[in-house]
Amino acid sequence: MPPAHHTLIVRLPPDAADAVLADALTTAAELWWPGERSPRLWTETVPAPAGSGTAARRRAAEARRPVAPGHRLRAVLLRYAGEHPADLVLTAGGAALDARSLRLVARVLRGDLAPDAVTPLDGPLPPDLRMDGETRRLASALAVAVGRYEGAASVRVAVPVPARDRPPYALGALDGYAVFTADLSPGRTVADLLATEPAAPAEGDDPPVLMLVAGDVDGYGDEEGDGPAMLPAGPDALPVPAHQVKFVKRQLASSAPNTPLSELDLLSRAESAEQLAFGPPRKAAAGPLRIDEAFAARVADRPDAPALTAGSTTLSYAELDDRAEELADGLYAHGVRPGDLVGLCLPRGADLVAAMLAVLKADAVYVPLDPEHPADRRERTARDAKVRLTVDDPAVLTGRPRRPAASRGPATGPAYVIHTSGSTGRPKGVLVPHGNVTALVDAVRDDFALSPDDVWTCFHSAAFDFSVWEIWGALLTGGRLVVVEHGTSRRPEDFHALLVRERVSVLSQTPSAFTQLAAADRTGGGLPALRLVVLGGEPLDARPLLDWFDRHPEDRCRLVNMYGITETTVHVTAATVTRREALAGSRSVGRPLPGWSVRVLDPYGRPVPPGAPGEIHVGGAGVALGYLHRPAPTAERFVPDVVDPAGRLYRSGDLGRLLPDGTLEHLGRIDDQVKVRGFRIEPGEIRHVLLEDPAVSAAAVTVTGGAGGDAAAVRIDAYVVPAPGAGEDPGSVRERAARLLPPHMVPATVTVLPALPLTANGKLDPARLPAPGARRSPAPAAHPAPAAPAAGDPEAPAAVLAGIWRDVFGVEEIGADDDFWDLGGNSLYAIRIGTLARERGLPGVALRQLYLTPTLGALSEALTGKA
């Protein structure tokens, strides 16, 4: 498919005469295209020097302007202020002239070639697929660069090739293109890539988005771009920076043939160093303290101020401190000594917070064990941590003598252990020091305007690290902490009523839990005291927040999305979310907190270019001490910082990209990517599209099937919660998704739920999602359908085809109106249907036929007509 138009800019000397150029153009046009409307030479003066930005913008604007209908060619001579070279801008319709012919026109107008030396030739000719080494390296380099940015293992590049046996001065023949398909799979080498042969495009196949253009020694190319083929020019011509493509091209020319493609770098040494040093950690105002030391300062400041509310009980700072001291004495009496690990299996309430503080006062380390978790999980966690004592009844710690006075360890010592889910199914304990927590609070204190006037909630389980932020964020800034009873946290209407009653000003939620709270807020009245909402714990899709902003404008209630990891102390980055981000469906999680750093690196620890995806690595004040009793996983995930030899980075396992402005986009878990019919997909991308639907307020996506290696049986299932006022028809949701997603990413089923099931930590609980909603039920035939013939005619084509569909889809009943795609059809199922159809005496069924006649009845009629 030829491009819409070709443009060539030719530099002419200042003394080039307008009349001579005009006469040459008229003479040539009459010779080449007799009887057609002859092009004329237009002359314009640009009131600026040729090298100015004004001149460059004028040239670019002229190059973008298409040729008028009915014309083959437009010629514009641009002259500039002063004695400067002139530019001849030649533009031709893509179907009328090719780029090679346009260069011949330029040679004739400059006087380098006589018009009668050029012979016109109409019609396309077969392409010559031979490719020179320079073009091969350039196409390879472009593929490598784009593959790195897109995370693709295969990249197609269109390469311009001449028409085979083209006469030396042909004018009208269309230039062709070949498709260079680069295999960038792991283990491939430079020699493998450069041995790739281009292929002619398949009939009806769209040309690749990536395309090299024919070389032009008369234009504004540089020494690396000039030649048989070159990179397209213009600010948006390439999806990657051109200088990075050229840097890879030089490496391809100089590297040994057996060099793995993974060793090719997009960034020069200087650029890598600059990227590694980008956004260094901003230091907190003061050195971090121990948690109990920072709390003691708040007790000294305002001993009588309310510190904690649990149900009908409210404790002042002094009372909470006294209760913690009493429990610390009891811990000592039970043999707890500095550095020991203490399990806390207490329900949410004042005693749980006091016990946490007591463990820290005893210079020990607390290990939360949620009583709502299964007993086996609690026991396994306690065994893994090797706790010295598990506290499940604070009464056993009371009435003990005072423990002896002793100095406590430094802020770098451990404060708590929280266990995270592991890919092996075995939770890992993360050991976090005191100073990380106090540094976190100090990092956001001013930005979030945290003060003793704030009222916080402790909504989350103590075994979920979001609770660390809630509890110590409140108590280390002098605020009041409202502990939310477990049952209330599971009833959005009751929780909303608590927020109103307690006049909560700082609220922390996972996006899944906040979606349910926002639904309750529509009917629960206002939240006049709420000024700050912190969202974290899982990726945020901002689109559903528009309804929240209608009731809680941004100037009254700030909403902050925080990306974080247990291993980096709850939060790493922060981004204020406004209506603008919600409309855009932004994935930004903002910039690192003061004292934290973020780097995005490739699998070999090298920085990726700004905007390219890679693994998020976190450094700075929040990096944990490591995994408890797990030296091997600690060494694997907590790695040295190449910039700061004294520091460490945590390899998050999250995919992200660091943008040039310093903000981070979170792209999901690396290990969440799955293969569906040969395509690598990210379920989060499908969920993102579902949430953009105004009829959807919450969504989840699962990928199931494929047991026994049956790739065709892999199925994507979606679950949605309708938006207020929206209907409950899943068909409309799927139809919209089908318009926005490639076929292999369209959910096979969409199940409507009143709410998504959540874990104890407020995150989506995939295990509690119901079985997917049934695919469309077989439609009853209103009349004798082709797919349901008389019983005495079992060999009729319609009956045979119906049997094939039953076998392939595994259903008992099929109706004439059942749709191939609604039944979960895909390209692999189409191949199976076509094969079985031929085996059973029917004409083959092409995939295109299934697009045209997707229902069983329509397909039967089409095949009957062929038979």
Break the chain down into helix, strand, coil percent, rounded to 5.
35, 20, 45
Please tell me the pTM assigned to this model.
Answer: 0.67
Is there a single domain that holds both residue 28 and residue 103?
A: yes
Closest CA to 119 of 27, 32, 29, 23: 32
Assigned token pair, 757:
């099931």
User: How many domains does one find in the chain?
Assistant: 5
The predicted pLDDT at position 584 comes to 83
Minimal CA–CA distance to 390: which of 405, 377, 378, 402?
Answer: 378
CATH assignment of the domain containing 37: 3.30.559.10
pLDDT attached to residue 282: 55
Residue 507 lies in a domain: no
Is residue 220 one of the residues assigned to a domain?
yes
For residue 145, being part of any structural domain is answered with yes
Q: Which of 638, 669, 700 is the last residue of a domain?
A: 669
Specify the pLDDT at position 681.
Answer: 64
Is residue 175 domain-shared with residue 255, that is, in the same domain?
A: yes
Q: Which of 768, 789, 818 is the last residue of a domain?
A: 768
Judge whether 338 lies within some domain.
no
Of 723, 747, 768, the last residue of a domain is: 768
Q: What is the pLDDT of residue 778?
A: 36
Residue 606 belongs to a domain with what CATH number? 2.30.38.10
Examine the domain organization and report whether 26 and 98 are in the same domain: yes
Do 138 and 250 lie in a common domain?
yes
What are the residues facing 419 on neighbouring strands? 429
DSSP-derived secondary structure letter, 175: P
The verdict on 803 and 756 lying in the same domain is no
- For the chain, 867 residues long, the average pLDDT of each consecutive 10-residue run is 72 87 90 83 90 88 85 90 87 76 83 77 65 90 92 88 60 72 91 91 76 60 54 81 94 94 90 73 66 97 97 96 97 96 96 97 96 82 93 94 92 94 65 97 96 96 93 98 91 91 95 85 86 90 87 93 94 94 87 93 89 92 95 94 85 90 86 55 77 88 65 76 84 81 74 84 80 50 38 65 83 80 68 73 71 82 71
d(CA 356, CA 345): 11
State whether 82 and 188 are in the same domain. no
Burial 13-23 (b: 16+ CB within 10 A, else e): eeebeeeebbe
- Same-domain check for residues 144 and 245: yes
The three-state DSSP-derived secondary structure of 27-54 is: HHHHHHCCCCCCCCEEEEEECCCCCCHH
Q: Are residues 261 and 139 in the same domain?
A: yes
Q: What is the pLDDT of residue 678?
A: 39
Same domain, 164 and 97: no
Task: Say if residue 164 is in the same domain as residue 246.
Answer: yes
Q: Alpha carbon 71 to chain centroid distance? A: 45
Range(s) of the domain holding residue 146: 133-266
pLDDT at 863: 79
149 located within any domain = yes
Identify whether residues 141 and 256 lie together within a single domain.
yes
Q: Is residue 733 part of a domain?
A: yes
148 within a domain of the structure (yes/no)? yes
Residue 727, domain CATH: 3.30.300.30
Residue 837 within any structural domain of the chain: yes
Taking alpha carbons only, the member of 616, 688, 624 closest to residue 659 is 616
What is the predicted pLDDT for the residue at 834? 73
Residues 619 and 687 in one domain: no
Rounded to the nearest 5°, which phi and psi values hold at 596? -105, 155
